[in-house]
Structure 1
């Protein structure tokens, strides 16, 4: 599937003209977004679906591919064609269609509670590919509850391949996973960790060794290793780094 035009990618939600009353929602929200960007290593950018442009791009380098934020904003959607491999452009088009079809059927104001996460590759300035995780959530809705502006957060993915498409709802344990084979959403629940397993993960996040964690929770080192195996099994990951990324992204810890 060859994609070579911005009109064929990520434009399913083009909302047209926004009313002046709706514009009153904006206030100074970009100041809050910029403040958040200063506090995180992740890249942040804002999509405006009225103008189909990037309204803001943070200085955090993960998403920039060697460009400046101003250059990425000027490129807009052309940034994807310049910095995403062809196969992943086709994947983004599928995600765009499926994601907005899902969003369209959600009830009114609840739409603001949902976010979608997925992985795709970016081409760096040296031509090397980096697998990134991309999260998108509504920032502002129009009066007819369509997504007007969205906040996107980009970080390094802990997966090995592109895809891994999931939708989450704030305050819910439900997850909707998209199957690229049957092109359908399948509902499941977030994996659950025990209080002790979450405690162990928090201690790993602090950089403690197995022996130091064992001292903290007053158990033997072998017991910490048992908790670690349980965490890996429940989250279907292979390393502590993957477990921490999964737990943070899924809001388990």
Structure 2
């Protein structure tokens, strides 16, 4: 029997012994962040809470308001003061205080499992407002478990208004929503979809129409419309575009 030749998947870039000098590259974590930023359509940046500045800002224009990433990097927090509407700066201050109070009470060994997400407007240099979703999670903690550095992902929001503040824990079905009026966190369960509802969403994501989805899963178009209504209700959205965004943000699809 002829021996099967090794696949280039296993041999093309097989690395031998890694030197001590090479292992030092692991300390340069920003290279990993930059690699991720090249692969995602979302904006990525790193906040340093020791210096209250940005340590890295990706080149994605969504978060830049017409500036270069280098210009936003130099601006740091001044970027927010210049490009977030004044009334929403107060909202960000409330979210900031409530969020850090929440994290402060968490066990130190679990803090990196949590992330916070919320929506606010950015105003570009031409005066146009864009509602963005801002997700943030700890990257490094200090010895006394304070958040030293955090990585943030920015994408278009799927809601219609600012706020929508949630804290979520990786691997947990629970989430906490900030009641902005009373400034308290309310615990609930993350939204879930049935297998058929997820299937319908995935087919929509592939660009199929209602009739095409119906044919694909052997149901009537009215049944597909029923699944869509259920999806909208479960995800608290108004249309399929918002549903897809919400499902992606919640890691449902």
TM above 0.5, yes or no, is: yes
Aligned to 1:53: 53
In the TM superposition, what whole-angstrom CA distance separates every residue of 1:35-76 from its partner, at most 9, and x where no partner exists? Answer: 111111111100011111100000001100001000001001
Distance (Å, rounded) in 1 between the aligned partners of 2:37 and 2:49 = 21
CA contact (8 A) 2:159 2:237 kept: no
The structure number with the bigger radius of gyration is 2
Aligned to 2:12: none
Distance (Å, rounded) in 2 between the aligned partners of 1:78 and 1:39 = 28
Q: What is the deviation of 1:141?
A: 1.2
Aligned to 2:99: 99
Q: What is the deviation of 1:86?
A: 0.3
Distance (Å, rounded) in 2 between the aligned partners of 1:94 and 1:190 = 23
Q: What is the deviation of 1:183?
A: 0.5
TM-score by length of 1: 0.88
Structure 2's unaligned 5+ residue stretches are: 1-23
Distance (Å, rounded) in 1 between the aligned partners of 2:138 and 2:217 = 40
Aligned to 1:252: 252
Aligned to 2:193: 193
Aligned to 2:225: 225
1:34-113 matches, within 5 Å, as 34-113=34-113
Distance (Å, rounded) in 1 between the aligned partners of 2:183 and 2:222 = 43
TM-score by length of 2: 0.88
Aligned to 2:7: none
Q: In the comparison of the two structures, how many residue pairs are matched?
A: 230
Distance (Å, rounded) in 2 between the aligned partners of 1:29 and 1:216 = 44
Structure 1's unaligned 5+ residue stretches are: 1-23
Q: What is the deviation of 1:252?
A: 2.2
CA RMSD of aligned residues (A): 1.4
Q: What is the deviation of 1:32?
A: 1.0
Distance (Å, rounded) in 2 between the aligned partners of 1:187 and 1:130 = 29
Distance (Å, rounded) in 1 between the aligned partners of 2:77 and 2:200 = 42
Aligned to 2:176: 176
Distance (Å, rounded) in 2 between the aligned partners of 1:207 and 1:149 = 39
Distance (Å, rounded) in 2 between the aligned partners of 1:143 and 1:204 = 47
User: Bigger relative contact order, structure 1 or 2, given CA contacts below 8 A and separation 6+?
Assistant: 1
